Amino acid sequence: MPSYGRVRDGVPVDPGTYDYRRAARDALHFSKLVDRFVQNLRRVAGFDVQYFATVEPQKRLAPHVHMAARGTLPRAEIRQIVAATYHQVWWPAADQVVYEGDHLPVWAARPGRADGGAYADGQDGDYVDPVSGEVLPTWADALDELDGAEDAEPVHVLRFGTQADVKGVLAGSKDADQCVRYLAKYLTKSLGGQVGPDEVARRAHAARLVEALRWEPCCPECPNWLRYGVQPKDATPGMVPGRCRRKAHKPEHLGYSGRRVLVSRKWSNKTLGEHKRDRRAWVLEMLGIADEPTASEPGRFEWSPIPDGDPDLGSRAMRTLREVARAQQRRRLLREQQARAGDESPPGAG
């Protein structure tokens, strides 16, 4: 992403001038910018480019993407695609605060329709001004007003920054192995786990970003729209600005609400079911357990109802504890096998 202000060691030199609002909005919509980049890449390449990518935060906590793509394209051309890629967010304005503190919109139920049917937008009530009782514009009304305005502009525009590292890698080479390890290591990392407990300045920087994210609308259904005088899409009673429960507002996600791992459908030529069976086979092999037919295979089990109180069934609490014990045993065996495999690795293997 582009710069939001000078940083040193991942911390803004001047937090007062650092553009936290822009950083928050870029993080919220970063996944859409990546999708647009892939679309542009495929259009320029002229073929269905296949890719595997992971998203992580930089030291300054702004998101960036690592991507491996099949095919050959000039590096200068890829940089041109990066520079030309942008995404516009056509949402109602969210810059001027209308309601805050104790002065918040109030939910008012709608009168029933004469024909007994539901309203077109599916809502059974509206949020109204706490003083005048005037109904706030619905999400559909706000979009219609935006469409009809001649001077309308997007509420936010995303672009990539100037830094783009492009490298050509041959399959089977040492560089290819390094790239695979580099991409795979992010599969188990969390976005918010990049700040250590003893990094006071970076923790303060992360707190400022989370506070900016707290009030930014993350989607059309976000309660934060009430803060700016618009009813969220599919509004329901009990919505309060600043209390959206979606993951984009949680500190461990730093505003990014998309998938951490981005894989095109034809990257591995396997279905999700085939990937699931591969993972199951790997775990069973690590545990030294022979693979068996799954419960979905015909003839594997015979199903019959068991009445309550059957002495062979046991209580629900006992059955739950038994399953928990089995799961703990499987995990313990897997950790032991993983530790054993690590001890048997040749010197220097990582």
The string of pLDDT tens digits covering residues 87-96 is 999 999 999 9
* Overall average pLDDT of the 55-78 stretch: 90
Segments of 114-155 assigned E as strands: 125-128
Burial class (CB in 10 A: 0-12, 13-18, 19+), 187: exposed
| Alpha-carbon span 294 to 104, nearest angstrom | 54
Question: What are the backbone angles phi and psi of residue 321, rounded to the nearest 5°?
Answer: -65, -35
Handedness of CA 176, 182, 183, 184 (dihedral sign): positive
The residue type found at 73 is L
The number of angstroms, rounded, from the C-alpha of 253 to the middle of its chain's C-alpha atoms is 7
Read off the pTM.
Answer: 0.75
Phi-psi region of 179 (alpha: psi -120 to 50; beta: other; left: phi over 0): alpha
| Alpha-carbon span 64 to 164, nearest angstrom | 10
Each residue's pLDDT tens digit, 321-346: 988 998 898 888 888 877 876 665 44
Q: Cβ(168)–Cβ(72) under 8 Å?
A: yes
Find all residues with CB under 8 Å of 247, minimum gap 6, and list them. 253, 257
Give 173's pLDDT tier (boundaries 50, 70, 90): confident
Name the average pLDDT for the chain: 85
More confident residue, 296 or 315: 315
* Nearest one of 38, 6, 239, 233 to 139, comparing CA atoms: 233
The residue type found at 80 is Q
Token duo for residue 25: 């909005």
Element housing 57 (H / E): strand 51-57
The residue type found at 218 is C
